[in-house]
Amino acid sequence: MFILDEGGKKGATGMTNVGGRSKKLVALLAVGAGAGAVAYAISSRSKAGPCVTAGEPEERLLIKDEENLSGLGSIMGSLIGEFLKEPAKIKVLDTLNLVLSIEPIEEPDTAITMTFSNGYAIIEPGVVPNPDIKLICDFEVLMQLPQMGAGLDAVKYMASPDGKTIINKFMSGKLKIKGLMTHPFAMLKFAKFLAPSAS
């Protein structure tokens, strides 16, 4: 406790006048503690809660704007729907985070975008702005994608006549994969998702 005489000199306790400084320090500490409490409250509200697990396999596939979806979208929807009956494919889907657009060279207006996130697959017509990967190819390549496999199977496939056809199309520019260099692991997971299941 500070006891000051009228002149602000030392009082009976023998201490100097630091009352103004200590009041400022206490005020700063109070403001800092209040700001810390507010920051903590805001951060605890904005933290993501536990991930909601995806539902049954048929609930994991969502189709947006179905009336405008092309035949390609319907085919991919059917294919993914069949894959979701397999527990191994569901495990891959649970880890897949990718926005992939497919634009057929022959009919660009039939393009689709597939979004894989949080255990769900969403198919919608058209190409969304800035997909992670944009695949521009012909229907022949699209039909061969599920046969390719993943990992070593994909390497073996590329040595086959069909695989060499895909390589030639890639080299000639008839097959373009935009974004592959920035999302290689997501593309590998997608290939694993599309790969035929081991019998």
Condensed to tens digits (0 to 9), the pLDDT of residues 78-115 reads: 999 999 999 999 999 999 999 999 999 999 999 999 99
Which DSSP state fits 179? T
pLDDT confidence bin for 20, thresholds 50/70/90: low
Residues 41 and 63 in one domain: no
Pick from 138, 156, 143, 149: nearest CA to 188: 149
Residue 21 reports pLDDT greater than 50: yes
Which of these ranges, 29-33, 108-112, 133-137, has the smallest mean pLDDT?
A: 29-33
pLDDT at 44: 46
- The pairing of strands 120-125 and 133-137 is unpaired
Residues 79 and 153 in one domain: yes
Dihedral, CA atoms, 166, 172, 176, 181, nearest 10 degrees?
A: 90
pLDDT at 147: 77
Cα–Cα distance for residue pair 52/119, rounded to 1 Å: 10
Range of the domain at 18: 1-47
pLDDT at 19: 59
For residue 188, give the CATH number of its domain.
3.30.1050.10
CA-to-CA dists, residue 78 to 50, 72, 84, 157, angstroms = 30, 10, 10, 24
pLDDT at 192: 86
Condensed to tens digits (0 to 9), the pLDDT of residues 33-71 reads: 454 444 444 444 434 333 445 567 778 999 999 999 999
Residues 101 and 76 in one domain: yes
pLDDT at 36: 47
Residue 199 domain-assigned (yes or no):
no
Residue 25 reports pLDDT greater than 60: no
Which residue did the predictor score with more confidence, 120 or 47? 120
Cα–Cα distance for residue pair 142/26, rounded to 1 Å: 69
Residues 69 and 145 in one domain: yes
pLDDT at 5: 46
Residues 120 and 176 in one domain: yes
